[in-house]
Structure 1
Amino acid sequence: MVAVIHTSSRLRAVLQYNEKKLEQGHAECISAINYPKDADALSFDQKLNRIQRQLALNKRTKVNTVHVSLNFDPSEKLGKEQLAEISKAYLKGIGFEKQPALVYEHRDAGHPHVHIVTTNIKADGSRISLHNLGKNQSEKTRKEIEIDFGLVKAQDRKVQEFTLKPVSVKAEYGKSETKKAIANVLDIVLKEYKFTTIGELNAVLNQFNVAADIGSEHSRIRKHNGILYRVLDKDGKRVGVPIKASDFHFKPTYRHLQVCFQANEMHLTCSKDSLRVKNSIDLTLLGKHNVSLPKLINILQKDGIDTVTRKNEEGLLYGITYIDHRTKCVFNGSTLGKQYSAKGITERCIEDPFSLHQQKSQKIGMDVGQAASAGNVYLVGNGSSLENDKSLDSLLSPVKDGEYIPNPLKKPKRKKQKGFSMGF
């Protein structure tokens, strides 16, 4: 099982994302945890209002929405009851067992997975710290759930997927060693990965310090549909002795690649593998205005997706390719849609990773965290919990302006000094 945690300040946008999947028939709300009604009896507004009423308890914390996806191995056949039970166990493990949460089973990818929408604002107005939540609580809980429910272990799967290592440039001076190293990479990439152009093939090969060279436009290699394979150094420059495709026993020639391109194009057209990449990008950028391109690339990489960018001399992005190491599929950004192309991603990401909004959010989170660590306990009304204090209907009704703002969360007024004395 792989858990991916996203946080934001836009609850409605996150909920709409899952509800849109539900309307399209690609998802189902299978559980409503700490709600007064079952999931199938709730309207969109009731789902939204229940969590919004909790957000209203703490106006100062801006990052107040938590969106988690739990991803399982394609070989696992998990029913709705099992997925709901696993989701509940996961929330308990990360300290969210008392939070209102909605669980959606998504059916738009090649593997079983659920999305959980919840909040880190507690019923007493304090907040659950999100610092290192994924690294600490989530990772520990994931491993426990894998054992308790007999799931495929993420670390075992990761070892199987990434056994291919980059070619070492130490082989650059020996043709036999270079050929052997390149052959190891080609044998796995050509058999397992799905690509439809030389550019997409090179996007994968370059990850392992190998390049397929078809020559310049008027070169002899291009004229005779030839192809050379080369080793790259850490800067992407060609080094060592080039090897002709015909020198390899499995003949990775240009003609053979064209057959691969056609077969792979049919597979990619019929499969839903592209949805995993698009969903990962959308979830990372959903409701956020402070994600830079490097940050997006880093988050996708943690989800098993490498991003290859192409920039001009001015440093402007003009091309982008996504390599999904889990589905073994390669996608040019423009084929996924305009919003996933180089231009679309540039418009959706910010230039400055340390935006003013992010800095303010961090400062506000620190202020509230310091207040909590000082031993302040925030109570609503007479100190009873929200569930005990309100009727079932009021829990699902909209929040009114000025409602549920705990006084301890407001800034205390500075006392006016009545007088002063001077000492000599």
Structure 2
Amino acid sequence: MVAKIKSGKSLTGALNYNENKVKQGKAVLIAAAGYPKDPADLSFNDKLFRLTDLASMNQRSKTNTVHVSLNFPNGEYLTDETLRGIAGDYLEGIGFKTQPYLVYRHEDAGHPHIHIVTTNIKRDGERISLHYLGQNESEKSRKAIEIKYGLTKAEQQPKIKADFKAHIDLAEYGKAETKRTITNILGFTLRAYKFTSVPELNAVLQQYNIQADRGTKDSRMYARDGLVYWITDKQGNKLGVPIKASTIYGKPTLKTLEEKFRLNEQLRKPFKAAIIKILDEVLAKPQTKRSFQQALYDRGIRCFLRQNDEGCIYGATFIDQKNKVVFNGSDLGKAYSANLLSARFLPEPPYKAAGQQHDHDMLNDNANSQVTVGIDELMEVLFAPEQEDLAALNKFKKKKRKGLNL
């Protein structure tokens, strides 16, 4: 069994995530402990207010939401009764025995798993400490449960994880609720990819038919550091109405993104040299713009070249799909900036003109298919505090303090 804990500030957001899965037929509420009604009789407000009433007992604590996923290997079939027992034993083991909680069995991935939503605020207003909860109490509880229920041990699961597959659907306007679609895609991309600017983020989101938009530079939204998200078609045209960043679960506002930009500056550094090596190998041969993009695509790197109306390239962004890191060309070095790359490209042969659309479609084949990711990544995206992020952030803060002579 693999346990993942995510703490947060929005009980509504955590509950909405699971309830939306229920509406889609991808999850079922199997337990509601500490509630006066049976699970089937609970309304959304019944589920929410029981938790928010407790959270309101401690107004000083901003973190009041605990969202847990317990994951089991494929083939380990467990009944709802067993899953309820496991959920209860796990929460007791981490000190949440008296807390009300909701348990959802999810069926949206290739392996059995449940989600638990609860709060760390007790009836008397005392806060249950979440400090090192995942490393200490969770590990002890997890190991005890594996023995009690005869489950596959987490240490034995890496061999199994490679067979687990899940997918993130591309955004398709009108197919599902716009806000929910954008939230699901952002939930993955913001945690999985390491980018350092809005244009770099958009290079990632473009693969999923989503765009982050600050507005024009002379707009009020831009002046106030506003941010909205759009669903687009595969040509990048905006569709429907935008969704404000502040209304999305996790609040991916510009302020939040800028904090992530600084962190990602540190996290992506180890992968820079490998990308430069691949670029040098590809550029060792004469390339047209399209052959350059295709050669990189074959090596696992997506190259986005931004052009103006006259066809002049003014920006280049590279996405290492294996390591999920994003670099602007100029950040890799002057030789990989848009201007110098453009100067190196040979003209496109005339006889390829008719096939250009085919080449474009091939390079953007994700626009017509599902983007596949390992379930291990997806679990980390949705439920795991990234230890490497925290380590890098601490290192970054120490450097900053030293620079300030603190």
Higher Rg of the two aligned structures: 1
TM range (shorter): 0.3 to 0.5
TM-score (norm 2): 0.47
TM-score (norm 1): 0.45
